[in-house]
Structure 1
Amino acid sequence: MTARSLLPVVGIARSTYHYQLKSMKRPDKDAPLLELVREAFENSERRYGYKRIHLELKSMGVRVSAKRIMRLMTSHGLVPLFKSAKRYSSYKGELTKAPKNLVNRDFHAERPNMLWVTDLTEFSIPAGKAYLSPVIDCYDGMPVAWTIGTSPNAELANGMLTDACSTLKDGEKPIIHSD
């Protein structure tokens, strides 16, 4: 069987077949770059990833994109021996279980001091940033209390809650909703 008789069976055009034959004979355009990447990788004792290799080549005067280096390294199995160290984060996860959502997006109240909503809003002003922390009564939409500060901290939120709770009468226990 010849290639000419197989091409219709496989569903490949004759021109495509000949184009692929020619392209397989062409030299690899990435071969010189791959040698530089391999050399830099080996000099780093197989520790550098594509970003550091990119910086190494850039310092040598080789202008090539980091993505091209990444593709070359992954296609040729040039993987660092150790994964990069994780960045420090002070976040330790949720300390307590989140409270149940008692409101379920129904922000209507039948009487005052039954349902309050609160949030923190940032404003950009000429002097910098200001933060507003209000409590709104869902009965009439009026603010119960608010605090304004230059930092979105616990003092701002706690001050607002203290002021709002001081307006309550005996026996009133509103649900406070915040996102």
Structure 2
Amino acid sequence: MFKSGCYDWRGRPESATVKRREGLKTLLKKAFEDSDSTYGYRRVHTQLHRWGVAAGLVLIRWLMRELGLEPCQPKPRRFGLTQGALGP
């Protein structure tokens, strides 16, 4: 008798795509941590390009979301005309 396709699928080794994505995730984490968690997916994509890694912008965005990497952008400074407008 033949095995069910599901059981056959579970026993297969990882595909090349899965292996590549895992390698990209490692590089994404490194680029993100090197930037002190400030780089978004566009800058991380540029950094990977500088390192010679070819990957699409959408793939980088998806992987960063999957890893939960959110850039921490500084809040814009608010300027007031008087000293009292800046707060206590």
Calculate the TM-score normalised by the size of structure 2. Answer: 0.68
User: Larger relative CO (CA 8 A, sep 6+): 1 or 2?
Assistant: 2
Q: Which residue of 2 aligns with 1:58?
A: 49
Q: Percent identity?
A: 31
Q: Given the alignment of the two structures, is residue 14 of structure 1 paired with residue 4 of structure 2, yes or no? A: yes
- Aligned residue for 1:80, secondary structure, equals coil
Give deviations 1:84-106, integer Å, cap 9, x for gaps: 97xxxxxxxxxxxxxxxxxxxxx
Q: Which residue of 1 aligns with 2:81?
A: none
Q: Which residue of 1 aligns with 2:29?
A: 38
Of residues 56, 75, 79 in structure 1, which corresponds to 2:70? Answer: 79
Q: Which residue of 1 aligns with 2:14?
A: 26
Return 5+ residue gaps in structure 2 as ranges: 77-88
Return 5+ residue gaps in structure 1 as ranges: 1-12, 86-179
Calculate the TM-score normalised by the size of structure 1. Answer: 0.36
Give the greater-gyration-radius structure (CA): 1
Deviation at 1:82, TM superposition (A): 2.2
Higher helix share: 2
Amino acid at match of 2:49: K
Question: What CA distance in whole angstroms lies between the structure 1 residues aligned with 2:7 and 2:72?
Answer: 41
- Tell me: CA distance 1:83–1:75, structure 2 relative to 1, closer, same or farther (3 Å): farther
